[in-house]
Chain A
Amino acid sequence: MTENGVVCQRGKVLTTDTMNPNVKKVEYAVRGPIVQRAVQIENELKEGVKKPFSEVIRANIGDAHAMGQRPITFFRQVVALCSYSKLLEDDKFPEDAKNRARRILQACNGGSIGAYSASQGIECVRQDVARYIERRDGGITCNPDNIYLCTGASDGIVAILKLLVSGEGRTRTGVMIPIPQYPLYSAALADLGAVQVSYYLDEDRCWALDVSELRRALVAARQHCSPRALCVINPGNPTGQVQSRQCIEDVIRFAAEEHLFLMADEVYQDNVYAEDCQFHSFKKVLYEMGPEYSDIVELVSFHSTSKCYMGECGFRGGYMEVINMDPEVKAQLTKMVSVRLCPPVPGQALLDLVVNPPQRDEPSYSTFIEERAANLRDLATKAKLAQEAFNRIPGITCNPVQGAMYCFPRISLPERAVAEAREMGQAPDMFYCMKLLEDTGICLVPGSGFGQMDGTYHFRMTILPPTDKLKIVLDKVKEFHQSFTQHYS
C-alpha cells in the first residue's frame, strides 16, 4: 500500500512474457552473438588484456568505409554544400558540385535539408532515379511516380513484406527466400509472422538458382501456407553469384505461372567482378520478354547507397521501383510510407548524386571516374585473392566470388568438433567462428546465420579489409583451420 492507500501493483507491465512475441523471434546473425563477443574482446584489448592478436578484424559486415574504403569526393562535397550552404561561396568547391547542391536545395522545402520532404521522397530526386533506371535499362520507360525513396533498401524491403502479410493458418502469407540468404529477410518474416519458404541455391553449380528447386519449395509450401512472393538477391548475398540472363527469364516465367510477387534486391548491381558475368536488371529482362510478361508480372526492385562503389551505409539512402503494382495496393503503400513521415534528406541528396553523377564535360568527372574505378578494381582484386586463397586451404572450398562483397566458403569440420559444438548447444560453424575469433581476433559470421543445406558448414567473410590486411586474415584463417582440424581429428 502507498501513502494514499492505493495498491501499487509491483509486477511490471512490459516483460518478456507480455511483450510482442514476434519481436522475440527475430534473429540477425550479422550483428548477433559473435559480434557482441568481438566488441567485448575489443574492450578487453583496450584495457590491456593480453591476447594472441593486437586487434579485432571485423570481416562480418558489408561496411566498406569501416574497412578503410574512401568516400567519393564529389558526393561528399555536394552533400556538405547542401548541409552548410555558406560553403556555396567557398572557392574550394568546384562549380559542378555547387550546381548540384543548389538544385537539390531548391527542391527542398524552405531550401533546407532540415525540412520534411514529401513522404515518397523529393520529387526531382525521384525523377533523377527514373532517368537513371531508363539509362541503365536501355531506354525502357520508368515512371517517377513508381519510385519510392526509402531509408536504405532494408526499409523498402520491410515495407513491401509488410504489405504482403495477411491470412491465418493455411492462408498465411508465405515468402520464398533463397538459402543462403541475407538474414534481414528471415528476421523481417519472423517479425511479421509470415511463413518463410526456403529455396536452396545449388552450391555445386556455383550457387545457381534452379527453377525446379523453386517449384519443389513452392509445392511443399502450399500444404501449409499461401506463398505470395519470391525474393531474389542479385548479385547474391552472401553467395556472390550473379544471375545469368537466362536464369532471370526463367524466374520471371515461374513467377508469372505461379502468381508470385517478385522482389529483386539489386543493391550490389555495380559489384560484378567475374569477367564472364554481367548484371541484368529484373526490370529490363521483364520488359524484353514482351507484354505477355511485362504487363502482368508484379515486381519491386531495390537499390541503395550503402554498397557498390559508394559504400555510404551511414546515410541510409535507397529507393524501390514498383512495377505493375495494383493501384489500390499502391495507395496502401503510399499511405504506409506517410506514417514514417519521410526518409532522411541527406540520404536522398546522396542518392541523387549516385543516379546523376558527374558528366563527361563537368570539372569533377575525371576524379569521379578514377575514384569509382579504383574502388571497384580494388574489390575485384580482393574477391579473386580471397577466393583463390580459400581454395588452397585443405578442408575449405570457395565458389567464385562473381559479385557483391563477400566470400561464403564451405568448411569441413571433424566429427569431434561437431559433437562438441552440439554439446554446447551451438551450431558447429558458430563454434568454429567463435574459436577463430578468440584465437585470431577475426570476426566472421557463421553460415548457420544465413541458412545452408543440412550437414554443411560455411562462414561469410567480407572482402572489404584493405588488401594487406586481407592477406593476413587469409593466412590466419588458414593456420587456424589447420590447427582446428588437427585438434579435433
Chain B
Amino acid sequence: MSTVAYCSFIWGSGYITARARTRTHRSLQKTEEQKRRIMSVLRKINPTLQRICICEQENLGRRAMQIARELKQGVKKPYKELVDVSIGDAHSGGIKPITFVRQVIAACIYPELLHDSTLPADVKERAWRLMRECDGGSVGSYTEECGIPYVKSSVSEFITRRDGGVPASPENVFILSGSQTALMFVLSLLVHGEGSAQTGVAFPVPTYSSFAMALDELGAEMVPYYLCEEEGWALRVEELRRAVRASGLHCTPRALYVINPSNPTGNVQSRKIIEEVIRFAAEEKLVIMADEVYQDTVHEEGIDFVSYKRVLFELGPPYSESVQLASFHSVSKGFMGECGLRSGYVELVNLDPAVMEQACKWLSAGSCSAVTGQIALNIMVDPPRPGDPSYTMYSQEVKFKKDTLTCNVRRVQEVLEDIPGFTCQAVGGGFYAFPRLHLPQRAVQRAKELGVEADLLYCTRLLEEEGVCLEAGSSLGQKEGTHHIRLCLMTSTKTLGMVLKRLKRFHLRFLKEFS
C-alpha cells in the first residue's frame, strides 16, 4: 500500500496532504510582481518530506497555544486556564523533576556549587565523577559521538541488572538525543531501496504520531498491524503475519516496531507474547525495534515488565544468536520526565561488528547528544542507592510519582466507567488512557460534513468549550468507524481532576446535542 493511500485509510479525512496544507498558505504569498521575481529555487523539494503526514492534531495543538495566549491577554472564556494533557510531558502537567538529577546537573554546569554546603555529598561526588569524564572537565565539550563511555557503561550495567544478569556491553549502547532520534538512527541504517525493494517497517495501529512521521520522512514503506482492542489491545501474531505477508508484494519488510508498554493503549506484553513475536521476527527475517521507554511504569498488579532482550536471551539459540534487536529507552518518560533534556539510548543486539562500525562512523559526522542529557541518563540508570544521603528523598519522589500515576489510572477508569458513551480497556502500563468514544450517528455525520474525523470534532469542541486539550484517536490510527481519545495521566492529581470534571460535563452535553 503506498504511503499516501495508507494515510487516508488510517487517518481518514484527517489526513492532510502537503498539497492541501499549502492551500492554507496562499494568503501569505507575495504580490504578483514579487512572485514573478521570486526564484523559488526550493519549489522542487525533497519528495519524501512532502509525504510526511501532518494530522489535524497539529492544528489543535496550535489552537491550544493560541487559547493560552488569549487567556494571558485577559480574553474572556468559559474557563480560566487551559489544561493540556494531549502529550506525554510530565513536567508540563505539573510533575516536578527529581531533585537529585537537577542538583547534579546544576553542579556540573556551575562547578562553584561543589563548594556549596547545602548540596548533599553524593550529589557532589556524582558531579565530580561525571565532569572527570568530560574533556577539559567541562560539560561544554563535545563527548564521543556515541556517548560518554562512563555513561554507556552505566547503561550496560543497568541493562544487565534489569535483565537478571543477561550480559550487555557498552559497545552496543548508543546514546542519542532522545528515543525519537535513536529510532530514526536505526531506521536510517535499515531504510533504503525503491519500489518492491523499499524497506517496509511494520508498526502497530494505534501508534504515536511522531513515529509514523519519522517513517514518512525516511521514506520507509509503512506496514501497519492492528492491535486488538477487544482483547485489551493485545498484539496478535496472526495479525502481524497477515500484515507482513500482505506487504511483501510491494516492499521488502525488514523491521518490526513494537512498543511495550504501549503508547497509547497501555497494554503490557506478557513474556509469552514477546516470545511469539521474536519467533515471528526470526521466521520473517525482521529486525525488532523494541521501544521500551515506558518500562518503569507498570501499574497493574501481578504484571511485570520484561524486556525483549531478556526474553530473546532466555529463549536460547538459535534465536538468541541470530535475531537482531534494537531496544530503546529514554529520560523523557518514566519517573524522570525530562523530555526537554533530549536524551536516550539504543542497545543494538546481534548486529554485525561491521554494521556497528559503519553506524559509529555515520554518527561521528553529526555531533554528540547534549551533555546535560547524558548526565540525566546516567542518573536514571544508576540512581541513589540505599544508604546514600539523597536516597530517601529520591525514593520518596519516585514513590510519589508512582502513586500519582496509579491513582490517576484508577480514577480515570472509575470516572469513565460511569459515563455513557465511553469504554476503556484496562491500562496496564505507560502514561496514557485511550478510551473509546461511542458517538451518536448524528455527531459522526456532522463531522463528515465538516470534513474531519468525529473524534477530532469532539476534541476541537472540547478545547473551545472547556479548555481541555486531548489527542484525537484519528491522529494515532484506529479501525475505521471507531473513535478514541488519548489523555496523558502522568500529571498532577489536581490537573487530572480538572480534566475529568470538564470532560464529563462536555461529554454529556455533546451526547445530548447529537442524540
Contacts from A to B (Cβ < 8 Å):
2, 4, 6-16, 18-24, 26-28, 31-32, 58, 61, 63-69, 71, 76-77, 79-81, 83-85, 87, 90, 92, 108-110, 112-118, 151-152, 154-155, 158, 162-167, 183-184, 187-188, 191, 228-229, 256, 259-261, 295-298, 310-316, 324-329, 331-332, 335-336, 338-347
Contact = CB atoms under 8 A, between A and B. Distances in A.
A151 to B, nearest CB: 6
Given A167-B44, A335-B52, 14 more contacts: A31-B365, A83-B105, A84-B106, A87-B106, A115-B92, A259-B41, A316-B370, A329-B42, A332-B46, A335-B213, A339-B214, A344-B370, A345-B340, A345-B342
Contact of A23 (B42, B287, B362): B362
A191 B365 contact: yes
A322 to B, nearest CB: 10
Contact of A341 (B112, B178, B352, B373): B178
B141 A13 contact: no
A67 B99 CA distance: 32
B370 A16 contact: no
B192 A166 contact: no
B89 A109 contact: yes
A264 to B, nearest CB: 15
Interface in B111-166: 112-113, 116, 118, 134-136, 138-143, 145
Contact of B341 (A18, A26, A114, A183): A114
Nearest to A97: B110
B217 interface: yes
Contact of A19 (B142, B190, B366): B190
Interface in B42-73: 42-47, 49-50, 52, 54, 58, 65
B483 interface: no
Contact of B116 (A22, A92, A346): A92
Contacts of B364: 28, 31-32
B178 A114 contact: no
B29 A327 contact: yes
B11 to A, nearest CB: 15
A328 B318 contact: no
B366 A116 contact: no
Interface residues of B, number: 108
A190 to B, nearest CB: 9
A466 B18 CA distance: 52
B338 interface: yes
B282 A9 contact: yes
Contacts of B350: 12
B180 interface: yes
Given A110-B93, A183-B365, A314-B142, A76 B45 contact: no
A71 B137 CA distance: 11
B295 interface: no
Contacts of B49: 162-163, 332, 335-336
Contact of A298 (B39, B107, B110, B143): B39
B389 interface: no
A326 B254 contact: no
Given A12-B324, A71-B138, A116-B339, A340 B42 contact: no
Contact of A164 (B46, B322, B368): B46
27 contacts: A11-B285, A14-B254, A15-B354, A16-B352, A16-B354, A19-B355, A23-B358, A24-B358, A63-B135, A79-B109, A80-B109, A84-B99, A85-B102, A116-B92, A118-B65, A166-B45, A184-B365, A188-B365, A259-B41, A295-B30, A295-B37, A313-B367, A316-B370, A332-B45, A332-B46, A332-B49, A341-B180
Contacts of A31: 145, 364-365
A225 B358 CA distance: 28
Contact of B38 (A66, A158, A324): A324
Contacts of A90: 116, 118
A339 B355 contact: no
Nearest to A22: B192
Interface string B269-311: 0000000000100110111000000000000000000000000
Interface stretch (B20-28, B436-444, B505-513): B20-28
Nearest to A111: B91
Contact of A6 (B50, B52, B283): B283
Contacts of B354: 15-16
B40 interface: yes
Contacts of B446: none
Nearest to B97: A114
B36 to A, nearest CB: 10
B486 to A, nearest CB: 16
Contacts of B393: none
Nearest to A112: B91
B372 A23 contact: no
Interface of B: 18, 21-22, 25, 28-30, 34, 37-47, 49-50, 52, 54, 58, 65, 87, 89-97, 99, 102-103, 105-107, 109-110, 112-113, 116, 118, 134-136, 138-143, 145, 177-178, 180-181, 184, 188-192, 210, 213-214, 217, 254, 279, 282-283, 285-287, 318-319, 322, 324, 336-342, 350-352, 354-355, 358-359, 361-362, 364-373
Contacts of B54: 335, 338
A26 B189 CA distance: 12
A289 B361 CA distance: 43
B321 to A, nearest CB: 9
Contacts of A163: 42, 45-46, 49
A71 B184 CA distance: 33
B287 A14 contact: yes
A256 B41 CA distance: 10
A31 B358 CA distance: 13
Given A261-B42, A315-B371, A187 B365 contact: yes
Given A20-B192, A113-B341, A315-B371, A84 B138 contact: no
Contacts of A24: 358
A342 B135 contact: no
B105 A84 contact: yes
A328 B43 contact: yes
Given A16-B352, A167-B44, A315-B140, A151 B370 contact: yes
A10 B322 contact: yes
B25 A314 contact: no
Contact of A63 (B89, B141, B254, B318): B141
A114 B140 contact: no
Nearest to A186: B365
A362 B352 CA distance: 57
A124 to B, nearest CB: 12
B324 A13 contact: yes
A115 B286 contact: no
Most buried by A among B93, B95, B96, B361: B361
Given A112-B97, A315-B370, A164 B142 contact: no
A26 B365 contact: yes
A57 B379 CA distance: 31
A344 B440 CA distance: 44
Contact of B189 (A19, A64, A324): A19
Most buried by B among A229, A296, A340: A340
Contacts of A19: 189-190, 192, 355, 358
A13 B285 contact: yes
A448 to B, nearest CB: 16
B69 to A, nearest CB: 9
Contact of A114 (B180, B287, B339): B339
Nearest to B318: A8
A360 B96 CA distance: 36
